[in-house]
Structure 1
């Protein structure tokens, strides 16, 4: 039919004029990556809660104090939301919380939290159109990535403060460290199947996105958390944090996918891939 031929000509023309945009759109839609970003946010939320209680139960006071300061730095917590955080990470509930959680509960929390690592790995694999890694190869990578992520969260307070120098150093330092984290994240969770250099565009985009969201979180989250706490109680905190995580995870998903497309399409593919551009994968 005439209209079918016309649509085909328009598609061919678009592929020739805007190959990166066409490829990115196709990869996002065909891989259900936006849906994967939402699932990633849900897994992140389900990982955070048991880990938060495990840290409150089994770590020294200094670690809990550091985590509390880092969470305050990340979200700019004040008022009632800050008091709620003190109740979770405070020292008064040490013994009862440890008895309730137990060593078995700690192990279960760590194992269940690796579902977040697995979801992040699938985002990276779908962005690069790679098959799922075998469990025997990927299992230790899930745990290592999760432990490093916890360490990075613990250090958010001093990092954002530039280790005492202030925001003028903290903001660029956060961007540089975030770039390194996302570069390493892709390399680790992809089981080394993609060289370091082609992973750089995705790492830079993800770092820029998370840096921007980190700045806006301090402006939006304190008022939002305190408002929903006053109106809906703890359920309001759940809804607010989950909404924020969806935005963050969807943005990271888009950034990693965009980076993969940019690395595989001209002109960057000729620069980033030694020995010539990679073969196109279907």
Structure 2
């Protein structure tokens, strides 16, 4: 038995999995995922609510965006929609200064993602005047989420899976390169983008199997708080995948590619 355990441990080391686990601990991956979820709920969600409210196609507003992202259906989708849906007059009641504040808060969320990528690649923090990168990334993120919802309404089955996979890989590939200011080569960032998209697809399947019934039971047992807790748990999963995918991409570059010069 001990011999088989040694062989298993040796194979684990040869794959570089030990280094990946150690990197996750150094990055404090779960702590960052919790921070991602908190900032997303507090700073990003209000901004997306306003953006969804001005959607000319009127496809259900922010609640439909959230339901689509979580892969919810039926009664669980209705439970989230009933609780999350903002007032139809949300745009009318948002002042100019309120809109500016929402944009600033959204940029702070982008800054936290940028900092996570910098930590993963062990790069120095960008200067404060690079905030324009965070603002552009935030706009691109909003556009990415928006097109995901629109394609979900127009396409189904293999067509949507293919389109979602391609656009997701492109967004996370470009997003890492852009937030890092081009300090990491495109080819080194591609594995992380692919890993992130694979993780999000897996999270969507997990959400469909686990969060769908959990939303219903929590809505009955705890009301609004229970549903929000499920949404927050899903956001933690998203944060774990976003940072974990980029971290896996760097791990793949270091352990599963032949050494070559940086030139």
Is TM > 0.5 for Structure 1 vs Structure 2? yes
CA contact (8 A) 1:37 1:246 kept: yes
Give the gaps of 5 or more residues in structure 1: 1-9, 271-275
Matched-pair contact (CA < 8 Å) for 1:182–1:203 = yes
Aligned to 2:33: 37
State whether residues 43 and 109 of structure 2, in contact with CA within 8 Å, keep that contact through their aligned partners in structure 1: yes
1:124 matched to which residue of 2?
A: 117
Bigger radius of gyration among the two: 1
Give CA-to-partner distance per residue, 1:186-207, whole Å, 9 cap, x none: 1011111001001011111111
1:55-79 per-residue CA deviation (whole Å, 9 max, x = no partner) reads: 355x155256465544343332533
Q: Quick check: 2:110–2:138 contact (8 Å CA) kept in 1?
A: yes
Which residue is 1:3 aligned to? none
Whole-angstrom distance in 2 between the partners of 1:64 and 1:107: 25
User: CA shift at 1:178, angstroms?
Assistant: 1.0
Distance (Å, rounded) in 1 between the aligned partners of 2:52 and 2:222: 25
| Residue in 1 that maps onto 2:244 | 254
Q: Report if aligned partners of 2:30, 2:240 keep a CA contact under 8 Å in 1.
A: yes
One of 114, 123, 141 as aligned partner of 1:149: 141
Distance 1:152 1:66, change over 3 A: farther
Distance 1:260 1:135 in 2: 25
Indicate if the aligned counterparts of 2:55 and 2:61 stay in contact, CA closer than 8 A: no
Preserved contact between residue 202 and residue 260 of structure 1 (Cα < 8 Å): yes
* Structure 1 residue 263 displacement after superposition: 1.1
State which of 92, 98, 113 in structure 2 corresponds to 1:105: 98
Aligned residues: 252
Determine whether 1:55 maps to 2:51: yes
Distance 2:172 2:52 in 1: 27
Structure 1 CA distance for aligned equivalents of residues 207 and 152 of structure 2: 13
Report the CA distance shift for 1:169/1:45 in structure 2 as closer, same or farther (over 3 A).
same
**CA distance in 1: counterparts of 2:224 and 2:61, whole angstroms:** 23
8 A contact 2:49–2:86 mirrored in 1: yes
The 1-side partners of 2:58 and 2:185 are apart by 35
Q: TM-score, normalised by structure 1?
A: 0.78
Partner of 1:212: 202
Distance change in 2, residues 1:32/1:69 (3 Å): closer
- SS of 1:50 mapped into structure 2: helix
CA distance in 2 between counterparts of 1:48 and 1:237 reads 18
1:83 to 2:97 alignment: no
RMSD: 2.9
Structure 2 unaligned residues grouped into runs of 5+: 1-5
* Equivalent-residue separation in structure 1 for 2:224 and 2:97 (angstroms): 26
Q: TM-score of the superposition, structure 2-length normalised?
A: 0.83
